[in-house]
């Protein structure tokens, strides 16, 4: 049972999320032979105020 956790800064549209889930599921099926019915994909949208890089919050860039 593959479990994939995708974290992104900011928010995505429902369509973007759908495409990400479909793409990751298809990739695992094609490359690893994992059945789509067993693949879980979780998307976490992290507020840019709660994510830092290079000593600064992403919201400050």
Measured on CA atoms in the order 25, 28, 30, 35, is the torsion positive or negative? Answer: negative
The single residue of 1, 2, 14, 58 carrying the catalytic annotation is 2
User: In whole angstroms, what is the distance from residue 61 CA to residue 53 CA?
Assistant: 10
2 is an active site residue: yes
The upper half-sphere exposure of residue 36, i.e. CA atoms within 13 Å in the direction of its Cβ, equals: 8
Which residues are catalytic, by number?
Answer: 2
């Amino acid at each position: 049972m593959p479990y994939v956790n995708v974290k992104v800064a900011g928010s995505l549209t429902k369509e973007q999320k759908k495409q990400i889930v479909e793409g990751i599921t298809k990739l695992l099926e094609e490359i690893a032979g994992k059945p789509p019915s067993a693949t879980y994909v979780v998307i976490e949208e992290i507020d840019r105020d709660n994510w830092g890089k290079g000593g600064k919050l992403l919201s400050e860039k």
